[in-house]
């Protein structure tokens, strides 16, 4: 139990920091809620990629896209609708749903799943988390 908490905490921190930095490079800024969302996404994908490690890269991209989009929708509901933080709004993007998720970014999340999968395998191999 203690080891699992430590593992999840490390994965959460790695994912949150990396996503925050990625967003700063992409949009020139980030928000604390994105660090939380990125941390959750990375920890969840680490566990899932551990189960489907031998699957093709394309399956990992599809799974990653689906998982990140799902988490992003619920994060958007929490941070943007419930807490009224207005962190992001995809209303201007084509194929959006409630302004919280959209097809172009779902595709981007699938592509982002490639380096995430690679990083997860390195962490698993080197650190045995």
Q: Is the pLDDT of residue 104 over 90?
A: yes
Give per-residue pLDDT as tens, 49-86.
999 988 999 999 999 999 999 999 999 999 999 999 99
- With 0-12 / 13-18 / 19 or more C-beta atoms within 10 angstroms meaning exposed / middle / buried, residue 92 is exposed
Indicate the pTM of the whole model.
0.93
Give per-residue pLDDT as tens, 11-27.
999 999 999 999 999 99
What is the chain's alpha carbon radius of gyration, rounded to the nearest angstrom?
A: 15
């Amino acid at each position: 139990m203690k080891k699992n908490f430590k593992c999840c905490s490390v994965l959460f921190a790695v994912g949150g920091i990396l996503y925050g930095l990625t967003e700063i490079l992409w949009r020139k800024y980030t928000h604390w809620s994105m660090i939380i969302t990125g941390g959750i996404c990375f920890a969840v994908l680490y566990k899932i990629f551990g189960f489907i490690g031998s699957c093709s890269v394309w399956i990992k991209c599809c799974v990653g896209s689906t998982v990140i989009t799902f988490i992003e929708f619920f994060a958007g509901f929490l941070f943007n609708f419930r807490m009224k933080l207005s962190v992001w709004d995809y209303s201007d993007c084509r194929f959006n749903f409630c302004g919280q998720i959209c097809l172009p970014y779902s595709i981007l999340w699938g592509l982002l799943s490639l380096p995430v999968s690679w990083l997860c395998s390195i962490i698993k191999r080197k650190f045995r988390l």
